[in-house]
Amino acid sequence: MDSGSDSFRSSERRRVGLIYDERMGKHFDLTDKKHPESPDRIHEIWNKLQDSGIAERCTVMDGKEAKDEHISLVHNRKHIDFIKSISSKQEKFWKEMTKKYNSVYFNQGSSEAAYISAGCVIEVAEKVAAGELDSAFAIVRPPGHHAEPNQPMGFCLFNNVAIATQYLLDKRADLGIKKILIVDWDVHHGNGTQKMFWKDPRVLFFSVHRHDFGTYYPCDEAGSHKMTGEGPGKGYNINVPWEHGGCGDADYLAVWDHVLIPVAKEFCPDIVLISAGFDAAIGDPLGGCCVSPHGYAVMLNKLLEFAGGKIVMALEGGYDKVSIANSVQACIEVLLQQKPIIGSSEAYPFESTWRVIRAVREKLSSFWQSFSERLPVKVTSMSSPYIQVVSSDSEDEYNTFSNRVSQDLEKDIENVIQPFSDLKVNDGTGITSQARTNSHTWREELSKIDIWYATFGSNMKLSRFLCYIAGGQVEGMRKPCIGSLDKSKPKEIKWESFPHRLFFAREHTATWGPGGVAFLHPESNSDEKAYLCLYRITLEQFNDVLLQENNSSFDMNYPLFDMTDLQSIEERKCVPAEAVKNGWYHNVLYLGKENGIPILTMTCRLSDVDNFKSGKVGMRKPSKEYANTLIRGLVEGKQLSEDEATTYIQEAVSRAL
């Protein structure tokens, strides 16, 4: 890893702005004191910078509220009026609006905090553009990059970076800012910022984020690498979507070197604005990645070569207080340029990182000359096996999952990122010979064991289930399945009913789009009756289906559910697949035996049912395409008529848990 020390200039004292205002701490969640987007985030950063002496080396400024005329450059009038009115309302209104919008909360301090947050970023952006400051960091909240022109979402009320960008381009043309590079390194896709500059060639928007094939928040395809802009803005929207969590310094720096830096050189921006979220940092409870403070420092240092070092950083996400404070300090030290960047890493990027980089470059090769050549095999073959890091799928599930990574940053880096010397990469797959041996051994063993896989959702329709075996997709599905390694069709198919409750919950799936998906209550109830289609498949195939049902990139060097689990499940009744614990169907449930062969299904946990009951995670009817697939499965399986099947689904939707 390049330490970037060549840009160290001890003879110069850079003028770095630091803007912060205590009033932004008045915005907090009245109903949840442990909400991750809390005032403590910015308090911890500010205290860290003061205690370390960093703050006194900067030009410190007080916050300043944004004007409506500037906010209206990217947000519509209705949205502005709504945010402005929040603080004058009562708690009942705030709670109603919290339910209406996606992952936001409101209280009496929300309006003021939103205006100050946006105003702070405008203030420092203007001073950097005018040359009064060399660079600046805005310690602001609420964050902004999820906020869309007409609505708040994802903890964000106003889109701070987008407002400042449009302000410089449209209101301060006298400053000579004609092209702006926005770098969004928050672990979530900057959907709001993307929408605002979708057709604008003056703004190159770059976002690197977890996407997990559309299942990671914001849970849509907007963050795909295929989303490149429209009209005159075509090619000026660059998304780098991680396929899974666990990405760290090596992965991000590979993207910098082979995507961001080459295209930034071609674009030649007049100023760089960074949506600086630190939820990809080690220890973050939402991000599930492992970027170190050193990694952020190197990424930032590589951007200093553009626009004469005119960089404005605005805080976005980041929910581990220690990690976010350490990462911000590391970045401000880079902006000050008063000491070289110490440290290095000899880790490889994941194999999936190279796959994503190649896809991004290929998609944008017609727009950027630097992407026209293929990356050398000797570069992309340097990859690391995937290491599973468990995290939540979206912000609105933040309290369902515990933090899997400790606060000991150096130890985490050593444990999570394998040193160069320890890797034995024999080909482009990034899998060692030992890993391949493990995979071969367990597959050979489990391919000899049959189980009944009992399905209660769309897999009741045979053609749909075969997507998990042979790969592909059927009508209504938004993404294909990869299939099983063993593509043999089921040896038998049976139908049975079981005393369990069928219900529908959650808001969206990558496969079917908006709408709930089917769950089977883990506990039996003699008053309930659920129709299940049983497929006789091997335990090896069941593992591959379990993987695909949970949308995980877990490296199948080892099984998710092995012989030990099978031998114990009759007594235990259920066995969680820990490696895909962030999935919705990771709880393997035992339903009995058929002709001496165990019947297994996969569903949610009892704790998830409690979240559905309390409203913490929403109950919702399925999409039309998904419901029709369930109905067709029941009809084709000769269990119910079409009218009966429709009624069966409707009753499952309408009855409260």
Residue corresponding to tokens 């050593």? 414
**pLDDT tens digits, 516-566:** 999 999 999 999 999 999 999 999 999 999 999 986 666 677 899 999 999
Longest dimension (CA), the chain: 82
List the one residue out of 588, 623, 621, 622 whose CA is nearest residue 604: 588
Separation of CA 488 from chain center: 34
Q: Buried b / exposed e across 60-88, counting CB within 10 Å, b at 16+?
A: ebebbbbeeebbebbbeeebbebbeebbe
DSSP letters spanning 43-101? HHHHHHHHHTTTGGGSEEE---PPPHHHHTTTS-HHHHHHHHHGGGS-HHHHHHHHHHS
Least confident among 155-164, 418-427, 607-616: 418-427
Dump pLDDT digits (tens) for 618-636. Answer: 899 999 999 999 999 999 9
* DSSP category for residue 213: G
pLDDT value at 6 more than 70: no
Contact indicator for 229, 364 with CB cutoff of 8 Å: no
pLDDT, tens digit (0-9, with 9 covering 90-100), for 326-367:
999 999 999 998 666 655 555 789 989 999 999 999 999 999
- CA–CA gap between residue 142 and residue 210 (Å, rounded): 21
CA quadruple 564, 568, 573, 578: dihedral sign: negative
What residues are labeled active site?
146
- What global pTM score does this model have? 0.63
Q: Which residues have CB under 8 Å from 322's CB, separation 6+? A: 44, 283, 407
Q: List, as one string, the DSSP characters of 601-612.
A: EEE--HHHHHHH
Cα dihedral sign for 469, 470, 471, 472?
Answer: negative
| C-alpha span between 618 and 508 (Å, rounded) | 10
Mean pLDDT of 501-527: 92
Share of the chain above pLDDT 90, in %: 73
Using one digit for the tens of pLDDT, what is the confidence trace for 203-227? 999 999 999 889 899 989 999 999 9
Q: In percent, how much of the chain has pLDDT > 70?
A: 87
- Rg over alpha carbons for the chain, rounded to the nearest Å, is 26
**Per-residue pLDDT reduced to its tens digit, 279-324:** 999 989 999 899 999 999 999 999 999 999 999 999 999 999 999 9
Greater model confidence, 433 or 217: 217
Tens digit of each residue's pLDDT (9 = 90 or more) over 463-489:
999 999 988 888 888 878 888 989 999
Residue range 506-525: mean pLDDT, rounded: 91
